[in-house]
Protein backbone atom coordinates (compact mmCIF):
# COMPACT_ATOMS: atom_id res chain seq x y z
CA UNK A 1 0.00 0.00 0.00
CA UNK A 2 2.83 2.40 0.82
CA UNK A 3 4.52 1.88 -2.56
CA UNK A 4 1.24 2.40 -4.41
CA UNK A 5 0.55 5.53 -2.34
CA UNK A 6 3.99 6.98 -3.11
CA UNK A 7 3.72 6.28 -6.85
CA UNK A 8 0.23 7.85 -7.02
CA UNK A 9 1.53 10.97 -5.22
CA UNK A 10 4.40 11.30 -7.69
CA UNK A 11 2.13 10.79 -10.70
CA UNK A 12 -0.48 13.31 -9.53
CA UNK A 13 1.90 16.02 -8.26
CA UNK A 14 1.89 17.93 -11.58
CA UNK A 15 -1.93 18.09 -11.45
CA UNK A 16 -2.14 19.57 -7.95
CA UNK A 17 -3.81 22.97 -7.69
CA UNK A 18 -4.66 25.45 -4.95
CA UNK A 19 -7.52 27.88 -4.46
CA UNK A 20 -10.13 25.30 -5.45
CA UNK A 21 -13.83 25.90 -4.95
CA UNK A 22 -17.00 23.92 -4.35
CA UNK A 23 -17.49 23.84 -8.14
CA UNK A 24 -14.76 21.18 -8.35
CA UNK A 25 -16.88 18.68 -6.40
CA UNK A 26 -19.50 16.31 -7.80
CA UNK A 27 -23.13 17.17 -7.12
CA UNK A 28 -26.37 16.03 -8.65
CA UNK A 29 -28.77 18.68 -9.96
CA UNK A 30 -30.56 20.31 -7.04
CA UNK A 31 -27.97 19.27 -4.43
CA UNK A 32 -26.18 21.97 -2.45
CA UNK A 33 -22.52 22.59 -3.27
CA UNK A 34 -19.72 21.10 -1.17
CA UNK A 35 -19.35 23.01 2.08
CA UNK A 36 -16.36 25.24 2.83
CA UNK A 37 -14.94 22.82 5.40
CA UNK A 38 -14.82 20.03 2.80
CA UNK A 39 -13.12 22.27 0.24
CA UNK A 40 -10.48 23.32 2.80
CA UNK A 41 -9.95 19.73 4.00
CA UNK A 42 -9.39 18.42 0.47
CA UNK A 43 -7.02 21.26 -0.40
CA UNK A 44 -4.89 20.52 2.68
CA UNK A 45 -5.23 16.72 2.53
CA UNK A 46 -1.92 15.84 0.88
CA UNK A 47 0.11 18.04 3.23
CA UNK A 48 -1.68 16.74 6.34
CA UNK A 49 -2.34 13.08 5.49
CA UNK A 50 -0.08 11.91 2.66
CA UNK A 51 3.60 11.15 2.28
CA UNK A 52 5.18 10.68 5.70
CA UNK A 53 1.74 11.19 7.31
CA UNK A 54 0.09 8.38 5.34
CA UNK A 55 -1.36 5.52 7.37
CA UNK A 56 -3.04 2.74 5.36
CA UNK A 57 -6.52 2.03 6.68
CA UNK A 58 -9.84 0.51 5.75
CA UNK A 59 -12.95 2.67 5.72
CA UNK A 60 -16.01 0.49 6.11
CA UNK A 61 -18.84 2.98 6.56
CA UNK A 62 -20.65 4.97 9.20
CA UNK A 63 -22.30 3.55 12.33
CA UNK A 64 -23.28 4.49 15.84
CA UNK A 65 -20.49 4.01 18.38
CA UNK A 66 -22.57 1.55 20.44
CA UNK A 67 -23.17 -0.60 17.34
CA UNK A 68 -19.47 -0.62 16.47
CA UNK A 69 -18.55 -1.66 20.03
CA UNK A 70 -21.14 -4.47 19.93
CA UNK A 71 -19.87 -5.69 16.56
CA UNK A 72 -16.27 -5.61 17.77
CA UNK A 73 -17.25 -7.60 20.88
CA UNK A 74 -19.38 -10.18 19.06
CA UNK A 75 -17.29 -10.49 15.86
CA UNK A 76 -13.61 -9.82 16.62
CA UNK A 77 -11.56 -9.06 13.52
CA UNK A 78 -8.24 -10.40 14.79
CA UNK A 79 -6.74 -12.56 12.09
CA UNK A 80 -9.14 -11.39 9.38
CA UNK A 81 -7.41 -10.99 6.04
CA UNK A 82 -8.65 -8.16 3.82
CA UNK A 83 -7.96 -8.53 0.10
CA UNK A 84 -8.74 -5.56 -2.14
CA UNK A 85 -10.46 -6.51 -5.39
CA UNK A 86 -10.14 -3.20 -7.23
CA UNK A 87 -8.66 0.29 -7.17
CA UNK A 88 -10.69 3.25 -8.38
CA UNK A 89 -10.41 6.98 -8.97
CA UNK A 90 -13.53 8.89 -7.98
CA UNK A 91 -14.87 12.42 -8.28
CA UNK A 92 -15.38 13.61 -4.70
CA UNK A 93 -18.58 15.06 -3.37
CA UNK A 94 -19.37 16.91 -0.17
CA UNK A 95 -17.73 15.52 2.98
CA UNK A 96 -15.08 13.86 0.78
CA UNK A 97 -17.39 11.07 -0.36
CA UNK A 98 -16.55 9.17 -3.54
CA UNK A 99 -19.61 10.21 -5.56
CA UNK A 100 -18.74 9.22 -9.13
CA UNK A 101 -16.27 6.50 -10.11
CA UNK A 102 -14.19 7.84 -13.00
CA UNK A 103 -12.05 4.75 -13.56
CA UNK A 104 -11.79 1.34 -11.90
CA UNK A 105 -9.02 -1.23 -12.22
CA UNK A 106 -9.72 -4.81 -11.05
CA UNK A 107 -6.91 -6.37 -9.04
CA UNK A 108 -8.16 -9.96 -9.11
CA UNK A 109 -9.30 -12.12 -11.99
CA dist 103 and 91 (Å) reads: 10
Q: How many Cα atoms are found within 13 Å in the side-chain-facing hemisphere of 103?
A: 2
pTM, two decimal places: 0.68
**What are the pLDDT tens digits along the chain (109 aa)?**
888 889 989 998 998 888 889 999 999 999 999 999 999 999 999 899 999 999 887 777 778 899 988 888 888 777 777 788 888 899 999 998 899 999 999 988 7
Tell me phi and psi for residue 92, to 5 degrees.
-80, 145
Convert 43-69 to b/e letters by CB count within 10 Å (16 or more is b): beeeeeeeeeeeeeeeeeeeeeeeeee
Tell me phi and psi for residue 47, to 5 degrees.
-60, -40
Q: Cβ neighbours of residue 19 under 8 Å, at least 6 residues apart?
A: 43
pLDDT in tens, 57-71: 777 777 889 998 888
Helix residue ranges, H only, the chain: 2-12, 36-49, 65-74
Contact 90, 99 (CB under 8 A): yes
Map out the domains of the chain as residue ranges. 2-106
Amino acid sequence: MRALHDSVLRALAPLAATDGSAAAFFTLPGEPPANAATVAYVEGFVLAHAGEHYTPHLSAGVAREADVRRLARDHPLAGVRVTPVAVAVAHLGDLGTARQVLRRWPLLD
